[in-house]
Structure 1
Amino acid sequence: MSIREKLDISAYLVVGPENTKGRPVMTIIKDAIEVGFTCIQIRSKVASAKEMIKLTQQASEAIAGAGKSEEVTLLVNDRLDVVLAARKQGIKVDGIHVGQEDIPVEVCREYLGENSIVGLSARTHEMLEYIKTVDVSQIDYFGIGPLHETSTKPDCGLDLDGKVITRSFEEISKIAKLSPIPVVVGGGVKLIDIPQLAKTGVDGFFVVSAVAEADDPKQAADDLVRAWKLYAPKAHKDLQ
């Protein structure tokens, strides 16, 4: 089975050095993997390319150390150069996540090959229209949001007027039904949101601060995974 067929975005952590309250990024990642997070994305607007490669290497080693290289997907946000450089150094990194304003997905696919993950965030104000019209053959999943306004990414969900548009659960359900590929939802997601979010039919949730800035990241990650498995119809099989 290819990496694209095995992709599990049910519990997805986005993290970088600016999100951890000064704690090591790797400690947060290890905690999340240990309790069942299935996808890790390294994202940083402050780290240099060299630092990003190092973080990617450490994350890859943490996943391998947990014996989960075949189960947990490792992605890098936006930095195709980092993914390529990491792979050149023998680091197992599974793909990239980009936004509509970033490197085109076709270019990512061309450089990373067919056996890689390419995820895409589409602009909030045109998400429904975009899902109906975009060629999804090059994309493995959509990241959508924000569910709430979030300080982690203040520009998340900006419309053309510069206002933040958040997603209602009703809209998310509509997107989940329309989308021909898996959908993961984030943007200020907290534990209290999981029951309702799980019922929309999306394939997973992504978080930054709910885990990386929690007083006890491992407990926070565990609570999120357990809640998702409890309420998501697609996840019930995991509990048996």
Structure 2
Amino acid sequence: MSIRDNLDISAYLVIGPENTKGRPIAPILEAVVEAGYTCIQIRSKTASARELIELTCLAADIIEKAGQSDKTALVVNDRLDVILAARKDGIKVDGIHVGQSDIPVSVCREYLGEESIVGLSAQTNELFDYIQTTDVSQIDYFGAGPLHETQTKTDCGTDLDGKVITRSFEEISRLADLSPIPVVVGGGVKRADIPELAKTGISGFFVISAVSEADNPKIAAAELIESWKANCKK
């Protein structure tokens, strides 16, 4: 049974070398895996392909050493080439997350296989119609947001004119009700947002700076997931 069959996106970290205030990534990854995060996405718009492969290998090693390879999914944002190169080197990469302007889902599925995870950023413009009409047969989950404007993912949640569209908790609840597949929401999410977000019925939250740029990433990671578990809608 593949990790795709038991996919859990309840606690999801997105991270790249530009998100750590110049600090090493390894301790942050170790902290979130120890805290029980269920999905890690490697994402960078500045790192080279080789750097991304090395970072993916680092994340895979940390997950494996913690004995969480069958529980913590490792995906790479956009870079199908990085995933294929990493897998050729024997690195366990569970899948890919793509946006609307990235490689088509069908191509990802063709090259990565049926056991791989494929996540898709839900189109912000006309979001609710999109969620209901998109062919989800090859998609495992939608990523949506932002909840707040955020500098760590400036391309998240813009309309056709480039204006940032943030989502209310009411809209997120509606999104959870309408979507035929699991939804993970992020974009400026902080600890104070988690109780209300957890009650919307979505499948999980994703964060970047709330953990990767925190003064103490280990404490921040633990507090976020503890709050989610305490408030999650059953």
TM-score (norm 1): 0.96
Encode CA deviations 1:99-125: one digit per residue, 9 max, x unaligned.
011000000000000000000002212
Identify the range of structure 1 (124-133 vs 165-174) with the bigger mean alpha-carbon deviation.
124-133
Aligned counterparts of 1:40 and 1:126: Cα–Cα separation in 2: 28
State the partner residue of 1:59. 59
Superposed structure 1 runs of 4+ greater than 4 Å apart? none
Task: Give me the whole-angstrom Cα distance separating, in 2, the residues matched to 1:181 and 1:4.
Answer: 13
Q: Where in structure 2 are the equivalents of 1:24-103 lying within 5 Å? A: 24-103=24-103
Query: What percent identity do the matched residue pairs reach?
Result: 71
Match of 1:219 in 2: 219
The answer as to whether partners of 2:200 and 2:233 remain within 8 angstroms in 1 is no
Q: Could you say which residue in structure 2 is the equivalent of 1:203?
A: 203
Mapped pair 1:18 → 2:18: yes
Q: Which residue of 2 aligns with 1:159?
A: 159
Alignment partners' CA distance in 1, 2:187 and 2:106: 26
In 1: Cα distance, 2:65 partner to 2:28 partner:
14
In 1: Cα distance, 2:126 partner to 2:55 partner:
33
Mapping 1:161-180, distance limit 5 Å: 161-180=161-180
Could you list the runs of 5+ residues in structure 1 that have no partner in the other structure?
235-240
Residue 126 of structure 1 and its aligned partner are, at CA, apart by 2.1
Which shows bigger deviation, 154-163 or 86-95?
154-163
| Gap runs ≥5 in structure 2 | none
- Secondary structure of residue in 2 paired with 1:55: helix
SS at match of 2:137: helix
Q: Residue by residue, what CA displacement relative to the aligned partner does 1:149-177 show, whole Å, maximum 9, x if unpaired? A: 00101221110122110001111011100
Q: CA deviation at 1:2?
A: 2.8
1:150 alignment partner in structure 2 = 150
Q: Distance in 1 between matches of 2:158 and 2:108?
A: 25
Q: How many residues align structurally?
A: 234
Q: Is the 8 A contact 2:3 2:71 kept in 1?
A: no
